[in-house]
Amino acid sequence: MPTFFEAKQLVTPGELLAEGEYQAGENTYLEGGKIYASRIGLVDCDNKKVNVVALRAFYAPKVGDIIIGSVKEVGFNGWTIDIKAPYEALLRASDVLGRPFKPQNDELSQVLNSGDLIVAKIASYDRAHDPQLTVGEPGLGKITRGQLMCVIPTKIPRVIGRKGSMISMIKQETGCQIILGVNGVILVTGKNIEDEELAMAAIKKIDEESHTTGLTARVTQLLKDEKAKREENKN
């Protein structure tokens, strides 16, 4: 039961990863007792489970995920939301209003209009139905301020870092609030635009160099350098 890779090796779709007593994890598949990669990414073996951390992927909805989406269309009794997934999501009017929706009393476009951005949670989703969203929890709902940026969804764990080390470091250094949508959309809200841009530069660096080692140190350095530069400009 051999494996055919070194830890953190870059693999392409179709590459043979392991044979025998191994389990096929993320972005891999099993055929004829052999495990192959199904996406380009970095292989890892964790407790007999072979995983590929994908470098290129799109978001596949999962129940319970917190996502950031934009209103695509105002419908008769709800909204369709673009969540950067293969499927459009639905948000019901009664869920947002917190009471039964009556078309004669409520004008939906005044609550959320097309183009509005929301933080929401996926309430239900399966093969036969488009994902349905909910905003009925604290921290969810319409976004009123801040800046958005998009990264590849598989990189969100890297932005978070080990036990949240990366994200809490960025939050601390820039003083920004950061909401990570599992679908790869990130909301950054700070006291001023400069703080937000600093946080976004750091996240962009993580996105571009996520498959390299020693990243936390380099991001810390980047933030320090940028801060020093700003101080110089002020004086």
**Binding other proteins by CB under 8 A: which of 57, 83, 93, 167?**
57
Cβ count near 60 (within 10 Å): 13
Min CB(101)–other proteins separation in Å: 25
Q: Measuring CA to CA, how many Å separate 209 from each of 49, 185, 216?
A: 25, 18, 11
Q: What is the DSSP letter of 155?
A: G
User: What residues numbered 192-211 form the site for other proteins, per CB under 8 A?
Assistant: 208-209, 211
Do 27 and 38 form a contact (C-beta atoms < 8 A)? Answer: yes
Nearest CB to other proteins, comparing residues 87 and 103: 87
User: What residues numbered 13-52 form the site for other proteins, per CB under 8 A?
Assistant: 13-16, 27, 29, 31, 36, 38-40
Nearest CB to other proteins, comparing residues 78 and 131: 131
Mark out the alpha helices in 20-137 (DSSP H runs): 93-97, 108-111
Nearest CB to other proteins, comparing residues 31 and 231: 31
Angle between helices 215-234 and 193-208 (to 10 degrees): 150
Q: Which amino acid is it at 198?
A: L
| Residue 54 touches other proteins, criterion: CB under 8 A | yes
The footprint of other proteins (CB under 8 A) covers 10, 12-16, 27, 29, 31, 36, 38-40, 54-58, 60, 86-88, 127-128, 152, 208-209, 211-212, 218
